[in-house]
Structure 1
Amino acid sequence: MSDALKALLGTNTDVKATVHMKRLGTDFTVKAIDGDTVSRIQEQCTHYSGKGNKRTKHVDENAFGMLIVAEGCVDPDFSNAELMRKYGASDPGDCVKKALLAGEIARLSGKILDISGFEDEDEDEVKN
């Protein structure tokens, strides 16, 4: 049996990590999300302008980050009714936007994507 096959058979996709949030003085727990979820979120954040050959695709990176955090953050749960009420949020993504600073959203979404397998390939080459 190959090492790659052994590795796949011996692992699971339930990957979690903690991210320290300095301003709040606590750790958030995030989880890996699957490719279908990332694709769905990216599709939600993609808008097109123009027609025919001039049609261009625009991804709202801010909305993408907020939705990644809303989906991948385990603790706190941004769909918590009390939390959403406190921030006057209409949905978990809106709650992320209202409760966190831009840099905090970027750190959390980056970590979620990283543990989901979207880490920078150049980093891996340096480590090897």
Structure 2
Amino acid sequence: MGKLYDFLMEGEAAAQETAEVHISGFPYPFLIHSITEAENKAIRKTCQKVSFDKRTHQKSTELDSDLYNSRLVVACCTEPNFKDAQLQARYKVMGAEDLIDALLKPGQLVDLMLAVQELNGFSSDMDELRDEAKN
């Protein structure tokens, strides 16, 4: 067998990674962690919208990318915990996605989202994504 096989047999290939992300406007860093592809698929599945065309009898599935990005941030963010009920009550919102919307400015969310995507191995050019998101 090959070296990759030996590596996979010896240890945990998908060990969870963590990082601190400094977001402008916050005195302390956000703490984030990576997730597995199984967790990512579960998040993606909750963000799909199925529609049915009565004329053609075709079913189509579409991903709500804004919801997916928010739920990915929620799943990967350790500090703050956007699922915390007390924090949600403090900002008079219900739900993790609503708390993100209440706490972060659009540019701050983009910075956090890009850090989460990079930590999870999304290989698109981060500078290109950052420029695209800001425009």
Question: TM-score, normalising length from structure 1?
Answer: 0.77
CA, structure 1 residues 119+85, in 2 after alignment: closer, same or farther (shift >3 Å)?
same
Q: How many aligned positions are there? A: 122
What percentage of residue pairs aligned between the two structures are identical? 21
Q: Is the 8 A contact 1:46 1:58 kept in 2?
A: yes
2:4 counterpart of 1:4: yes
Tell me the CA shift for residue 10 of structure 1.
4.0
Report the 3-state secondary structure (helix = DSSP H, G, I; strand = E; otherwise coil) of the residue aligned with 2:26: coil
Report what 1:75 is aligned to.
79
> What corresponds to 1:45 in structure 2?
47
SS in 1 for 2:121: helix
CA distance in 1, matches of 2:48, 2:27: 34
Q: Tell me how large the CA RMSD over aligned residues is.
A: 2.4
- 2:23–2:111 CA contact under 8 A, matched in 1: no
Higher relative contact order (CA 8 A, sep 6+): 1
Q: Which runs of 5+ in 1 are unaligned?
A: 124-128
In the alignment, what sits opposite 1:15?
Answer: 17
Structure 2 Cα separation of the partners of residues 102 and 36 of structure 1: 28
* Amino acid across the alignment from 1:115: L
- Structure with the larger helix share: 1
Determine whether 1:101 maps to 2:105.
Answer: yes
